[in-house]
Amino acid sequence: MKKIVSLLTIFGICVNGWSTLTITDGLVAHYTFSGNLNDSSQSTNNLTVTSTGTSLGADRFGNSNNALRLGSTVDFAQSDKNISISGNGSHSVSVWIKSDYATNRWNTGTILKFGDESQIAGVNALKIELTASGRLTMWGQYADWNAQNLSDTFKSWTQIVYTYNGDLFSSAFYINGNGVPSSVSGLYQATTFNIVNTPLVIGKFGLGDGGYEDYGSGLPNGLVDELRVYNRALSSSEIQQIYTLESVPEPSTLSLLAVGLGGLAMMRRRRS
């Protein structure tokens, strides 16, 4: 959510389906990309860009400089501090993306990752894959969770949510607020994670780490927006609330002010 406007919170008013609802319990990172790469959560874990093809682009409502654009398979942004998710702790990721998929060696595009990919079940990497059916994967190094048959879903702006609640078989994927069929990979060797606390990387999977440099690298011409990371598993109702909140554009500051003033006027009339 790009703005918090207290007037609407006071009056409980919703404008064109947009509300001020925000779910902050367990929120360890929140990147709105509203003209910058700052983390709006209490962690203040801002992003840094060192690759030349990473920039700000238009978001899902056409607003310039309000989404992260990844120009090629080697472009990325990285958080300045560790993401504060480690071991087998529950966690959730919510993010909006738009991409024509990657065309690199592995036909895979990495949206984000955290953890150590050299360890079995030591990493979480959210990927989309160019397969016959279109696949969404949370790659955990032999602890993988997949959603199939998504076809060209991600060629338009799409909200993805992944949740993990202490066991691989408790994992779930949601697309645009709704749960989708998903299952564990047949190659799994672990059902619980042992994630190393590392920075968050958006985009390119490998950062000079040997054999993983190509595996699942980048999201060329990809756009990322409203990225949230939680240190707990979101409920299905919370996921629907986030989707409802983020799927409509924010009203302008003037319209918010007008609604707030209208609410004050109504209260005064009732008192008189």
Paired residues of 72 in beta bridges: none
What are the respective helix, strand and coil percentages of the chain, to the nearest 5? 15, 30, 50
Q: Please state, in angstroms and as integers, the Cα–Cα distance from residue 12 to each residue in 4, 5, 239, 245, 259, following that order.
A: 13, 11, 20, 14, 11
Q: What stretch of H or E contains 256?
A: helix 253-271
The position carrying tokens 């408790």 is 170
- Asked if residue 221 lies in contact with residue 99, where contact means CB atoms within 8 angstroms, the answer is yes
Q: Residues 132-152: what's their mean pLDDT?
A: 85
Q: Residues 167-176: what's their mean pLDDT?
A: 96
Percent of the chain with pLDDT over 90: 56
Q: What stretch of H or E contains 185?
A: none
With a threshold of 0.85, does the pTM exceed it? no
Query: How many C-beta atoms lie closer than 10 Å to residue 87's C-beta?
Result: 10
Which range, 9-23, 34-48, 182-196, 255-269, is most confident? 34-48
The answer to which of 29-38, 79-88, 160-169, 195-204 has the lowest mean pLDDT is: 195-204
If 0-12 CB within 10 Å is exposed, 13-18 middle and 19+ buried, where does residue 62 land? exposed
Distance separating alpha carbons of residues 215 and 72, to the nearest angstrom: 15
The candidate with the shortest Cα–Cα distance to 234, out of 8, 22, 40, 5, is: 22
Flag whether pLDDT at 15 surpasses 90.
no
Spatial CB neighbours of 254, under 8 Å, sequence gap ≥ 6: none
The confidence score (pLDDT) of residue 11 equals 40
The candidate with the shortest Cα–Cα distance to 4, out of 34, 44, 26, is: 34
The candidate with the shortest Cα–Cα distance to 98, out of 160, 18, 55, is: 160
Flag whether pLDDT at 7 surpasses 50.
no
For the chain, the distance separating the N- and C-terminal CA atoms, rounded to the nearest angstrom, is 36
DSSP 8-class letter at 28:
E
Q: Residues 102-116: what's their mean pLDDT?
A: 73
Tallying the residues shown for the chain, one arrives at 272
